[in-house]
Every structure is written in structure tokens, then in C-alpha cells.
Amino acid sequence: DTNLSSHFVLEPYDFLFDTAVEAYYKGDWLTVILNMEKALRNKATVRSVKAQCRMSCANRTSFGDRLAGLGVPIPGSGSVEDLGFFQKILKRADCVNSCETEKLGSPTMHQVTGEVQLEFSKRTPYNYLQVAYFKINKLDKAVAAAHTFYQANPDHMEMRQNLEYYRMMAGVKEEDFKDLEARTHMSYYSDDSFGLAAKHFEVAVDEYFTADKECRALCEGAYNYDGYNYMEYSADLFQAMTDHYLQILNCKQHCVVELASTAGRDKPFEDFLPSHFNYLQFSYYNSEKYEQAIECARTFLLFHPDDEVMNQNLAYYSAVLGEDKAKTISARQVQSGVSVLHDNIKVTMTPQQLNGSQRVLLDGVISDDECRELQRLSNAAALKGDGYRGRPSPHSPSEMFQGVTVLKAVKLGQEGKVPLKSTRLFFDLSEKVRKVVESYFHLETPLYFSYSHLVCRSAIDEKQEERKDLSHPVHVDNCLLVSEINECIKEPPAYTHRDYSAILYLNDDFEGGDFIFTELDAKTVTAEVRPQCGRVVGFGAGKENPHGVRAVTKGQRCAVALWFTLDPTHEEKVRTISVD
Ligand SMILES: O=C(O)CCC(=O)C(=O)O
Ligand SMILES: [Fe+2]
């Protein structure tokens, strides 16, 4: 074997960690330090090599976001288009594998147990290091290790006392209290950072995008299923690959939350990226750089178009700079997947215009092509799944009803019964709606899917005469409406964990079918929404929003009904396949 590099093996960090812990109990402080420091270094190396390999392999086997090919179905195994796509995934996995092997030794050597992962995420190594440094009189390092550990364990009394003790010691300096694990894109972000100079926030925004790219790259590549590699995975290969692909998608979607989270805080920062632009515009305003302030204000408004304060700021900066000049300055290009409120999404009606609270009507959320594809998916699923054109409606004898959940769509995709591309679109577009709703209502914590349902209702032509009923009776999504007494009972069997709802409409070529909001009496209509492609009605799922659907008297009405929860334990099954 002439390939020397293939013999290189980076020492696995779990092994180093164990060695250090063993040495700790023998009081061999130098061995603790040597091995623990190396464990931390090697863990970081594994992560960055993985990110680099995935990024460079993604560039070499790029398939962008489009699936290429002809889309000719092969019975029972997806379509040619899906297979071409997965061939590329396999090629990429191969590339990632050899890249990692070259730089780390066999990648399987660096797989660690969940327990070890947990120790590192709780920053336990710094607890050991703190003692060891202290014992050999490396005070500055002991302080930094203690501080680093404490950031992730703010309830740790002993470390708090240690820190107080260090603070009083001679020779300890303020700058010794540093967080050795601070993520660069976080380092300027704290509650008192308003006074900081704009250039710090510029750096933070850049670093955010770098971290985002890295997080997404880490989602790619060869995954293991409980320790098994792809090729040994016992399930059908096609299914293995689709599972994998969904994991990647899911993993990438969690990057936004991941990037806004930090050790020692149980919640992610609210609205992480938009906040950066808020700080930035404020800093530019302070230094009278109005052009930049306008740019940042506009960028912030991409996320929160109706934010009153920011709109006022923008008006003020524009007046100072001159309206004509201000008009020529546009928002910064924020990478897709990070910014969700594109210019083409518009708030058509605010809660006030809809005569209620926690209600919004948005337009332009998805395109005409996307609407058509989802409607096709619904019809294909009805054909392949539950018999032609669905079943009698559970709500009205005058309509037929067909529904497909994401889980069902994924299954049909895996069985080759509907194009996987459409399944992905269902997945992606519902995610887009989720982000838009989360962002519009300025939620403090992430919104999780609890159920997603693509639903079409079709009028039965011969049953429309004398019709008085609704297509969907007035109800509340998270409690049982008793309209006779104007009450809503929030108890099972109602889906009490639902916190927000959104309906994404796909078409308008039918008669009837308007969405209505009512009072708790289920009679007094407070607002009406005419469905159309790309329109979303989003609302709180509680008793403030009783709603229903008027009779569909001709044609087919299709919509994606999405229910969200703030409680991660109720996250929808298909979206929670865990990774890493
Ligand atoms: O399709 C609609 O417009 C609303 C449906 C609805 O409210 C529901 O399914 O809970
Ligand atoms: Fe509903």
C-alpha cells in the first residue's frame, strides 16, 4: 500500500475522554489535561472535516434543488427521476466517505454513543479540566474552564461558588472569564449589546451565514441507521434512500433553531436573524449612516412586514436621507431557507381587518405551478390509496372528501405510487407556511407541526338542491365548541395541544366553499375568506377563532390544513426522524 494518508487515524475523542476521566480519579492532572484538551480538539476536527467534506462533495456532485430526469414511473420503485436523483446521493455519499477516511481514518471510529455526546453538549470536559488546571496552578485556564462549564450549567452551585472564589483571588483578571465554546456567530449577541458598533453585527451576520452553511452541510452525506451503513440496511434500498433523504431535509430545517440555540438556555433566541438586522439598523442609525440603516430596516421587514416600529424607523430614515434616494435602496439578499418572507408574500388582511385577534390572511405564499402539483398529488393519492375520488364527506352528505397526510404521502412516494418530487413539495411548502406563521405571530419558541393534511372537497352535483348545511361545520381546532352556551371545552378528545392553525389554499375554480370566522355562537360571521391559490389563512387554534367552511356547491376545493403546536413532544411523526 503506497497510500500513506490512508493509514492516518485521528484518535477518537470518546477514547481520549475516557482516558482523561480515568486519570482524574488517580489525580494524574497532566494526563487529564493532555487527553481532555485533545478530546475537545479532535471533536472539533471531526466536525469541521465533516462539514468541509460535505461541502466539497456537494459542489462536485451538485444537483441543486431540482430533481432532474424524465419522471417516467417504474412500477413499485419510484420513478426514473427519483432514481437518478438517488444515484447522485449515493455518489455523494461515496465522495464524503473517502474524503472523511482520508482525513480522519475510518469514519466509523468517530461514532460515539449518545452518552458521550451528552457529556460534551453539557460541557462536562471543562468540569474536569477546571480541577486539573487549578491543581497545577494554571489559574487563568482554570477560570476559563470554570466559566465555560458554568455557561451550560447555570444551576451548578459548586461551580458558581468556584467562580465567586476565583473572582476574589489575586492574579485573576476579568478577561480570564471567557467562554471557550462560544460560537462565533453568537458572541456579540447578548441582551446588553445595543451599544455595540455596527461592525460587530456585520461580523455576526456573516458568521451566522457561515454557521448556517456548515449546519446544512453536516446534514448531508452518509448516514447510519442504528450503526448500519446504507448498503447493509436491511430494508428495501429505495426506501432506505427516501428515509435518508427525508432525514436530510428535516435536519436542514432544524438548522434555524439549532443556530439560535445555545448551551445553558432552554429556549432558542427569539427571532435570531431578524434581531441581528434590528440591532444593525440601530447601530447604523446611531452613527448616522442612513443608507445602511434603510437597507437593514428593509431586510428586517422581509421577516416582519407589518412591524410598526420598524416601519416608523424606515419612514424616518427615508425622510432624513431624502425619499427619492431612499427608494433606490433595497433589502439585503438573505439566503433562501433563512428568509422566508419573500417580497412576493403579502399580508392581505391583518387581525384588525379580519375583526379578531391572532388572525392573518397572506397571499403569494406558493406559485400556480405548486398549487397544481399539490392538487395532482391529492388526486393521485386518492386514486392509489383509498379508492377513486375519496369517500363521502364526514361533514356533509352533499360532498366527497379526500385527504392525504404527509406520512401517507411519504409512504405512497416510497411505494412509487406518487412522484416523490410531489411528496417533497408537500413537505417543503408546508414548512414554508410554518415559518411564515411563526414569523408573523412573532413567536418566542419554535412552532412544530402537529398534523398536516392535504384535503379536497368535491360537490356531488345531484345533491345540491335545497342545500343548507356547511362543508365543514363551525368548530374550534383545539377545543370542543358548545355554541349553545358560547363555551369551548379544552379537554380530550379535542386536540388540546394545537396552538396555531393555517390553511393553504390551492385553487378557486369551484363554487361556494368560502372560509368563515364566527363568534362563539357559531352563527355570527365576523370575517370571510375566499380561497385562491397561494392564499394562507393563519390563526390561533383556540376559542378566539371559531371557523367553518361554506358548502362547496360545484367543483373541487383543495387546501392544505396545517396544525401547529408549541410543544415539541407533539411533533408530527414523519418530521421527527432523528439524525446524528
Ligand atoms: O379548509 C378550510 O378552509 C378549513 C378547514 C378546517 O377548518 C379544518 O379542517 O379544521
Ligand atoms: Fe379548523
> Could you read off the pLDDT of 240-259 as tens digits, one per residue?
556 666 666 667 666 766 66
Rounded to whole angstroms, the Cα distance separating 74 from 89 reads: 19
Mutation probe of ligand 1 site: the residue of 395, 451, 503 with most atoms within 8 A of C-beta: 503
The predicted structure's pLDDT at residue 439 = 76
DSSP codes joined into one string, 214-231:
HHHHHHSS--EETTEEGG
**62-108 pLDDT, tens digit each:** 443 333 232 333 334 444 445 555 566 667 777 877 888 888 887 77
pLDDT of 450 higher than 80: yes
Instruction: Please count the other Cβ atoms lying within 10 Å of the Cβ belonging to residue 564.
Output: 29
Q: What is the mean pLDDT of the chain?
A: 80
Ligand 2: centre distance to CA 548 (Å): 7
* Mean pLDDT along residues 494-505: 95
The predicted structure's pLDDT at residue 87 = 63
Greater pLDDT, 514 or 265: 514
pLDDT grade, residue 266 (50/70/90)?
Answer: low
Rounded to whole angstroms, the Cα distance separating 227 from 161 reads: 42
**Contact call for residues 419 and 81 (beta carbons, < 8 A):** yes
* Mean pLDDT along residues 26-44: 94
Using CA atoms, how far residue 512 sits from 412, 437, 457, 503, in Å, is 31, 26, 11, 17
Strands 448-459 and 399-405: antiparallel
pLDDT of 195 higher than 90: no
Cell numbers 358548545 label which residue?
482
Amino acid at residue number 317: Y
Ligand 2: centre distance to CA 517 (Å): 10
Q: Residue with the nearest Cα to atom 8 of ligand 1?
A: 561
pLDDT grade, residue 158 (50/70/90)?
Answer: very high
The predicted structure's pLDDT at residue 229 = 43
Q: Which residues contact 244 (CB under 8 A, 6 or more apart)?
A: 89, 223, 230
- Is 298 in the active site? no
**197-220 pLDDT, tens digit each:** 566 667 767 777 777 777 777 776
The predicted structure's pLDDT at residue 395 = 93
Atom of ligand 1 nearest to the CA of 547: 7
* Mean pLDDT along residues 437-455: 82
* Mean pLDDT along residues 118-127: 93
Angle at 521 between CA 518 and CA 525, to 5 degrees: 25
The predicted structure's pLDDT at residue 384 = 74
Q: For residue 475, give the ligand nearest its CA.
A: 2
pLDDT grade, residue 413 (50/70/90)?
Answer: confident
The 3-state secondary structure of 130-142 reads: HHHHHHCCCHHHH
Lowest mean pLDDT segment, chosen from 176-180, 192-196, 275-279, 531-535: 192-196
Rounded to whole angstroms, the Cα distance separating 7 from 106 reads: 9
pLDDT grade, residue 160 (50/70/90)?
Answer: very high
Helix (H, G, I), strand (E, B) or coil at 577: coil
- Reading the block at residue 396, the C-alpha cell is 356533509
For residue 181, which phi and psi values (nearest 5 degrees)? -110, 10
**Contact call for residues 106 and 229 (beta carbons, < 8 A):** no
DSSP 8-state assignment for residue 534: T
Q: For residue 361, give the ligand nearest its CA.
A: 1
The predicted structure's pLDDT at residue 507 = 97
The predicted structure's pLDDT at residue 343 = 52
Q: Residue with the nearest Cα to atom 10 of ligand 1?
A: 477
* Mean pLDDT along residues 353-365: 91
> Across 79-83, 284-288, 411-415, 557-561, which has the greatest mean pLDDT?
557-561
pLDDT grade, residue 438 (50/70/90)?
Answer: confident
The predicted structure's pLDDT at residue 185 = 54
**Contact call for residues 99 and 53 (beta carbons, < 8 A):** yes
pLDDT of 512 higher than 50: yes
Q: For residue 559, give the ligand nearest its CA.
A: 1
The predicted structure's pLDDT at residue 528 = 96
- Across the beta sheet with 515-518, the strand order is 472-475, 547-549, 515-518, 525-529
- Runs of H (alpha helix) within 105-236: 114-121, 124-135, 139-152, 157-168, 198-219
- The interface pTM score, or ipTM, of the predicted complex is 0.99
pLDDT of 120 higher than 60: yes
**36-52 pLDDT, tens digit each:** 999 999 998 888 888 78
Greater pLDDT, 131 or 192: 131
Ligand 2: centre distance to CA 134 (Å): 61
Instruction: Please count the other Cβ atoms lying within 10 Å of the Cβ belonging to residue 82.
Output: 27
**Contact call for residues 558 and 506 (beta carbons, < 8 A):** yes
> Which is nearest to 539 in space by CA: 516, 559, 557, 521?
516
For residue 217, which phi and psi values (nearest 5 degrees)? -65, -40
Rounded to whole angstroms, the Cα distance separating 277 from 74 reads: 49
pLDDT of 486 higher than 60: yes
For residue 67, which phi and psi values (nearest 5 degrees)? -95, 125
Lowest mean pLDDT segment, chosen from 128-132, 382-386, 571-575: 571-575
Greater pLDDT, 541 or 570: 541
**291-329 pLDDT, tens digit each:** 988 988 988 887 777 788 889 889 989 998 999 998 888
Ligand 1: residues with CB < 6 A are 472, 477, 503, 515, 547, 549, 559, 561
**Contact call for residues 543 and 485 (beta carbons, < 8 A):** no
Atom of ligand 1 nearest to the CA of 531: 3
Catalytic residue among 216, 359, 434, 557: 557
Using CA atoms, how far residue 6 sits from 96, 103, 106, 224, in Å, is 15, 8, 9, 22
The predicted structure's pLDDT at residue 578 = 34
Ligand 1: centre distance to CA 12 (Å): 53
- Reading the block at residue 231, the C-alpha cell is 448498503
Rounded to whole angstroms, the Cα distance separating 477 from 381 reads: 25
Rounded to whole angstroms, the Cα distance separating 197 from 168 reads: 32
Instruction: Please count the other Cβ atoms lying within 10 Å of the Cβ belonging to residue 7.
Output: 8
The predicted structure's pLDDT at residue 350 = 83
Domains of the chain: 4-183 (no CATH), 184-338 (no CATH), 346-576 (2.60.120.620)
Output the CA torsion 192→198→201→203 (10° steps).
-140
Ligand 2: centre distance to CA 474 (Å): 8
